[in-house]
Structure 1
Amino acid sequence: MTGNEPASTINRRRLLLASGAVVAAGATGSAGAILPRQRRPRAAEPAARVTARRTAPHATTTLETTARLGGAPHTGTYRRLDSGPGWPMVVREDIAPPRAGRADRRTPLACFVQFTDLHIADVQNPLRTEFLRSRTPTAWRAQEALTVAGAVALVEKVNTLGDGPHSGLPPAFVMTTGDNIDNNSAVELEWFLTLMNGGRITPDTGDPKTYEGVQNSGLPLYWHPGDPALRDFDKRRGLPLIPGFLDAVTRPLTSPGLRIPWYSTVGNHDDLPGGCLSPALDDFAVGSRKLLSVPDADAAAYAKALGSGDDPKSEVLKAILNRHAASARTVTADERRRLLTPHDYLAAHLDPARAGAGPVGHGYTPDHLDGDRMYYTFRIAENVIGISIDTTYRSGHYEGSLGGDQLRWLERTLAAHSSRSYDVDGRLVRGPGADDAHILVFSHHHSPSMTRRPDAARTDEPRHDGAEVIALLSRYPNVVAWINGHSHVNRITPHPHATAARSFWEVNTASHVDYPHHARLFELVDNKDGTVSLFTTLVESSAPHRTAPDFDDLSAVGLASLYRELAYNAPGLADSMRSGVQEGWAGGAGDRNTELLKIVP
């Protein structure tokens, strides 16, 4: 994906929340050969590394099998899922040539997993704006009440991963690249931290005896799984009647927690309600009035404000909420829905009781509370450094950027781990680093979604866009990849440079709330020929691809399978997938399971 592509192809959040039109990104053409997965012999490794490796084979990934649409529609346009063939591994040689014999020479350096865009959601929150579905069916998801069950199944899958299929190393940690929660609320953050660290979660708010969201509102705009009489929009499309669904999705369930450490990167939904609204809306979030529908003119005005991004105080939405308060549904107020400040978000991560498998803070330290800084660096492995950056605006916008202070910090951090770099004029500069550590950068936003829009919460600080970040990273030949999310699309983009060693990869991974529900396994290896390879392998949750024949399995496992299937049946998606149009969300072959070659200093 390049910065020249239209916004409709690169920012699905804009489509869902503002534009009212869904346009899927097309599959990426990529140079390289498609190879079947195979475990090749490795060169001798240091004894310490050998003893650290597991002997268990790796768990099933998308190299072996993937969820695919089944045969004829179940009813209407609703299609069941089945297990299909895996996706092959593609050698991407866009920025470095593959050299013969590298599989026999290479030694493993690091192995880890990326989660992104989990969007753990309290679907009964009064501040949610589901009413935008009157403009487009994709503005509300039928699967949103299942985010916790689906994420628990993803944690369970990671806990079963053995050796990485290419490096032989077990995953050492998980990095979440933002939008961990959906509405910037305290209760969602509590669920997310419990999900990652282990414990009991009750995905319910308000009245503990009664669901108070859109799915029992009586409005045909939304899927009512327990109402046989209402022929709502989604049932007409073929979504099933599932008695007991709302009771099941609000039942307690238990996450085993990750057995490996995890790190956190912040996203716009973690920082802002709805990912784009003003932090000054707390009274509505904890209040007792939930607006389920609005006149078309109000929906259009709100969508326009979201699209322009010129309403940082959310005055348009405030006016709509106040104007229609009398017609809003009365719900049970719940203080747990309070909006989070950046300080709250950091403090919750730093709570020792929420350390799980570690580390305490999950990348953040008490020093980050000074100024509420959400960027840091950490050691991935010997001679491999990770850098997590904060690309969010703090005043009502879904786009990303870096402030001047953070950009300068990023430059200093890159230089500290580099023995050489290039200045802005292309001159070679000797750096303070004794050796060139391999550097991996993590963020929520991907480069096309980062702009120079001023941040109303930090008006005195210039903002920097994705092109400027790419230019900075390309000055350091030891940068291997920039890994991110936000787009809800799998896309791997080379950032080539005339000086080949200054080229690097941008790896953008799809969400775990929308089709195709992927996490990504990364393996970094040294080919011992002046190149490294970064292997990427997509991972699905542990939930079976097939749902129960009569939709009567409402266990946690059954709900996780249903979560995936409902997402694959989003309005218009199943039909367009058959024609290949929606391959863009899953990415082309070169955006999925890959070997990404990179020349190193």
Structure 2
Amino acid sequence: MALSAGAGYALRPGDGRAAAAASGADAGEAVLASSRQAPAAPLAPYARGTTLAATSTPRGGAGYRRLGDGPGWGRVVRGELAAPRSGRADRRTALTAFVHLTDLHLTDVQHPLRLEYLRSADVHAWRPQEALTVQGAVSLVERVNALRGAPATGSPLHFAMTTGDNTDNNARSELEWFLTVMSGGRVTPNTGDPRHYEGVQNSGLKQYWQPDAAVRDADKRLGFPHLDGFLAAAVRGVDSPGLNLPWYSTVGNHDSMPLGCYASHGDPRLTDLATGGRKLMDVPAAEAHRLRQAIKKATDPRGVRYGEFLEAHSRAMRPVTPDEKRAAFTPADYLAAHLDPRFRGLGPVGHGYTAANLDAGTQYYSFRIADRVIGVSLDTTDPGGHYTGSLGTAQLRWLERTLRTHEDSYAIVFSHHTSTTMTNTHRDPDRPGERRHSGEEVAALLGRHRNVVAWVNGHIHRNAVTPHTGPGGSFWEISTASHVDFPQLARVVELVDNGDGTLSLFTTLVESAAPSRTDFADLSRTGLAALYRELSLNAPGARTDLAGAPADRNTELLLEKG
């Protein structure tokens, strides 16, 4: 299988020129993101280390369930957009292959702004596994690094793309953890008092799992274990090897807004509380329900009423150690951090973002994936507030221009939100006169361009693969499950030319490198990563449909060649 020569470089928003390289390069030199070298052995399909071979499978019925190694998921051929033709496996040429990561939600669990107390009204509002997001993400990096290449063709993997909600609370601490996990280095997932954890899990409150304490909390009554030393282990420093291939970044609502739903231009009380020494951990169920409904219905996108809510509950707040690292980061901070040489890893510089983005205040870009393929990363977050998404008119027009300019290349579009979760019409405070556009409008635009083959996204924490047709052509929308909720997956995507007038997109899901079964006595980084997955399985109220149907998992998706 021949992989087109990999030369991934960022294209500036609006002008289609290669972005200037960072230090030491001429102004017009492109930042190259070369694919890994092909192995010396003949390229061949494989399954080991993917969900084609095995999956972490629940054991037992009621109560707290353990995980063990279970059967793999087969590959489903989907022909809604083109009929599969016999003999195509012998004619294929691989065009590109990459890894899709999404919704890592690296979480500062001691952050004072967190909404854990909504659990008194909704059990889903806090998850027992959240203290282990860093360990789980490092284990996922290890899995990606261990892949031999693309499972369906054996071709080298060209790059990885993470499609947002890389962080959870829009906190600078979390942003540094994310960039270090991806690029390599030591991460200490702790803020506040460096000596010990300060948060809901040692609060004595029975609505939260108290792993180290003798408290008979609600989760222990469901079978959650008592684990001496858990919290000390959870905030202990860990080392990440960093991805061993180039990686790109796309922004999500949790990366753009406090708590993923309040406008960054919102109530200043939220800014003060984020870095301060008080944390609300418990409110009556009726009040939690009203706040949850206000968030869900977007009746307070700027967080003004939330600021009033917190002020009214100031006496109920508990003391914690203040920490400036918990401050919210701005879009400019997000871009500057990606451009920071400390987090370059294997590149490219900026991980898709460029100095041009920083100058223009934009978080969208295009990049050359391979000779015949471009990538387009969108910013679907709405600065006006709320967790659903949209695009402003300027970005929509840029997307149209980009697809038209590169009509001779296949296009893969990346975003955080899906087509059905872009329903937010709140105006951007910095561009109050600009209209916002829905996912339906974006899908219609993509359907007008024959070169669009895929729209890859996350946000819904569920595997879903959806065909789209338009007057210009057809494409597949590929949504991948999160890495915070069970079954904690990432996805390898391969684009191949079948040599018969059709293309195929192969999708193959992978789990982290952690073992399926947890040893409760093992509080090493690997042991905690395994526990992270098992706790996510058992989180009270956890959804059981996030893996999707078989046709949403490991697939071959056929397309007519544009």
> Matches of 1:326 and 1:181 in 2, distance apart?
29
2:451 to 458, 478, 481: 478
For 2:522, the aligned partner's letter is D
| 1:595 counterpart = 2:525 | no
For 1:568, the aligned partner's letter is L
> Structure 1's 326 and 536: CA in aligned 2 closer, same or farther, altered over 3 A?
same
Aligned to 2:350, the other structure's residue is in SS state coil
| 1:380 counterpart = 2:365 | no
> Structure 1's 452 and 188: CA in aligned 2 closer, same or farther, altered over 3 A?
closer
**Post-superposition CA distance 1:491-533 (Å, at most 9, x none):** 0000134x5x611100011100001100000111100111110
> Structure 1's 538 and 326: CA in aligned 2 closer, same or farther, altered over 3 A?
same
Aligned to 2:259, the other structure's residue is in SS state helix
Match of 2:524 in 1: 555
Match of 1:3 in 2: none
Match of 2:406 in 1: 417
User: Deviation at 1:165?
Assistant: 1.8
Tell which deviates more after alignment, 451-460 or 207-216.
451-460
> Matches of 2:69 and 2:457 in 1, distance apart?
28
1:354 to 343, 351, 356: 343
**8 A Cα contact 1:83 1:545, kept in partner:** yes
Match of 1:390 in 2: 379
Match of 1:422 in 2: none
Aligned to 1:525, the other structure's residue is in SS state strand
Match of 1:143 in 2: 129
User: Deviation at 1:354?
Assistant: 1.3
Match of 2:427 in 1: 455
Aligned to 1:233, the other structure's residue is in SS state coil
User: Deviation at 1:92?
Assistant: 0.6
**Post-superposition CA distance 1:228-256 (Å, at most 9, x none):** 2x111100111110110000001000000
**8 A Cα contact 1:111 1:167, kept in partner:** no
Runs (4+) of structure 1 moved beyond 3 Å? 45-52, 55-59
| 1:526 counterpart = 2:484 | no
For 1:321, the aligned partner's letter is L
Match of 2:441 in 1: 468
1:505 to 476, 483, 488: 476
Q: TM-score, normalised by structure 2?
A: 0.91
> Matches of 1:234 and 1:174 in 2, distance apart?
36
Aligned to 2:494, the other structure's residue is in SS state strand
> Matches of 1:515 and 1:144 in 2, distance apart?
12
**8 A Cα contact 2:382 2:424, kept in partner:** no
**Post-superposition CA distance 1:247-298 (Å, at most 9, x none):** 0001000000011110000000000111102324211100111000113332
Q: TM-score, normalised by structure 1?
A: 0.85
For 2:418, the aligned partner's letter is H
> Matches of 1:366 and 1:377 in 2, distance apart?
14
> Matches of 1:325 and 1:598 in 2, distance apart?
57
Match of 2:198 in 1: 212
Aligned to 1:270, the other structure's residue is in SS state helix
Match of 2:304 in 1: 315
2:169 to 183, 193, 211: 183
> Matches of 1:566 and 1:83 in 2, distance apart?
16
User: Deviation at 1:455?
Assistant: 2.3
> Matches of 1:327 and 1:583 in 2, distance apart?
35
Tell which deviates more after alignment, 302-311 or 256-265.
302-311
1:442 to 414, 417, 423: 414
Aligned to 1:370, the other structure's residue is in SS state helix
**Post-superposition CA distance 1:462-484 (Å, at most 9, x none):** 00001100110011111100000
> Structure 1's 311 and 51: CA in aligned 2 closer, same or farther, altered over 3 A?
closer
User: Deviation at 1:317?
Assistant: 1.5
Match of 2:21 in 1: none
Aligned to 1:361, the other structure's residue is in SS state helix
Match of 2:545 in 1: 584
**8 A Cα contact 2:102 2:166, kept in partner:** yes
User: Deviation at 1:368?
Assistant: 0.5
Gaps of 5+ in 2: 7-34
> Matches of 1:131 and 1:285 in 2, distance apart?
16
> Structure 1's 48 and 348: CA in aligned 2 closer, same or farther, altered over 3 A?
closer
Aligned to 2:534, the other structure's residue is in SS state helix
Write out aligned runs for 1:100-499 (5 A). Answer: 100-228=86-214, 230-279=215-264, 280=268, 281-418=270-407, 436-457=408-429, 458-497=431-470
| 1:544 counterpart = 2:515 | yes
Paired-residue identity, %: 57
For 1:294, the aligned partner's letter is V
For 2:273, the aligned partner's letter is F
> Structure 1's 263 and 494: CA in aligned 2 closer, same or farther, altered over 3 A?
same
Match of 1:61 in 2: 50
> Matches of 1:437 and 1:534 in 2, distance apart?
16
